[in-house]
Amino acid sequence: MKIQLDKLMTEQQNPDTMSIDRMNNFEIVKAINNEDKKIALAVEKELASIAELVDACAERLSKGGRILYTGAGTSGRLGILDASECPPTYGVSDQLVQGLIAGGLEAIFKSKENAEDDREAGIEDLKSINLCEKDVVIGLAASGRTPYVAAGLEYANSINAYTGSISCVKNSEIGKIAKTAIDVETGPEVVTGSTRMKAGTAQKMVLNMISTGTMIRLGKVFNNLMVDIQPTNAKLIERSKRILMLATGCDYSRAETLIETSNHDVKAAICMELSGLSLDECQKLLAENGGNISELLHQLQK
C-alpha cells in the first residue's frame, strides 16, 4: 500500500530553509532556532487536550493503573526517556510509567526502521506487560500513522484501557483511535522529514506536561518542590536538605537533623517541622491524605 507522504505536513519541504546547505554555521543555527521558536506556540493550541489527558492519567494511577508510552524511532525513545526520569524525580516505581518501543531494547540504541510497521508487535508488547483497564496507553507518532502505535491503541481500547495520542499533524490517524488526541502541528522540518527535530521537541514538551502534571496531581510536589525525591547519593541528600529549608524556612543544621530523624523521608520531615507532630503521626497522616502535604496541612488547620 502506497503511503501518501505528500499529505503529511511533517514531510513537506520548508520554504524557509531551502538554501540551508549554502548557509554558514551561524546562519544554520539561526534558521534552526527560528523554527524552534514556533513549537511552544503550537503546543499551546493543544493545552485543553493535554490537560484532559493529565486528568485521565491522575485518575487511573490513583486507582492502581500505569502510564504506558508506545512509539517507534524517535517517538519511542522520547517515551522511554520520560518514563525513566519519573522514579528519580518523584520516587515512584519504575513500573508506574513505562515506555515501549517498536523493535524492543535494541531499537533504543540502534535504528530498526522496519519495526514500526509491525502491528502484531504493537499488540503483543502491551500484552507482555499485562495491560489492563486501569492503565493509560499513550501512543506517540510524529506522522500520526505508525502501524505499531495504531494497533496498540486499538488493542488498548478493546480492553477499556484509557488511550491518548501525541502526533505532529492535524487530524492524525492515531488521534482518531485515541480517546484524547493531542495533534501539535509543528509544520515542515528544517531538514525535510527529519522529525527528530521540531516534532521531537514538541513531543518532549507534551510528555513533560503529562508526567509532571500527573505527578503534581498525585501529591508528588509541595509548592513547586520535588518532595518525593529519593536521596540515594550525596547530591540528592544535599538537595533534600535544601528542599526542607525552602519548604519550612528552617536552617541547614535543622534540615540535617530532620533528614536523619525522618529516615530520609522528605515529606514526613516537612510535616514534622510544620506541624510539630512525630514521625509516626506524620506518616499516618500522609497515608490518609494520599501523600499530599498541602491536603494534610489543610486538614490540620480545620
Among the listed residues 52, 59, 85, 281, the single catalytic one is: 85
The strand pairing partners of 100, in sequence order, are 70
The three cell numbers of residue 193 are: 522529514
Q: How far, in Å, CA of 32 to CA of 20, rounded? A: 10
From CA 92, how far away is CA 210, in angstroms rounded?
15
Task: Give the active site residue among 35, 116, 185, 189.
Answer: 116
What distance lies between CA 200 and its chain's CA centroid? 13
Q: How far apart are CA 221 and CA 38, in angstroms?
A: 30
The burial class, CB within 10 Å (0-12 / 13-18 / 19+), for 26 is: exposed
For residue 163, what is the enclosing H or E element?
strand 162-167
Q: 35, 93, 49, 77: which is closest to 215 by C-alpha?
A: 93
Cell triple for residue 271? 510535616
Kindly state the cell numbers that stand for 158. 478493546
| The residue to which cell 505536513 is assigned | 9
Rounded to the nearest angstrom, the gap between the alpha carbon of residue 226 and the centroid of all alpha carbons in its chain is 16
Show the beta-strand stretches assigned E in 63-135.
67-71, 97-101
For the record, the C-alpha cell of 16 comes out as: 524557509
Torsion angle in degrees (nearest 10) through CA of 168, 119, 127, 50: 10
116 is catalytic: yes
Does the annotation count 85 as an active-site position? yes
Q: Which residues contact 222 (CB under 8 A, 6 or more apart)?
A: 247, 267, 270, 293, 294
Contact between residue 289 and residue 299 where contact means Cβ atoms under 8 Å apart: yes
Q: Which residues are marked as active site?
A: 85, 116
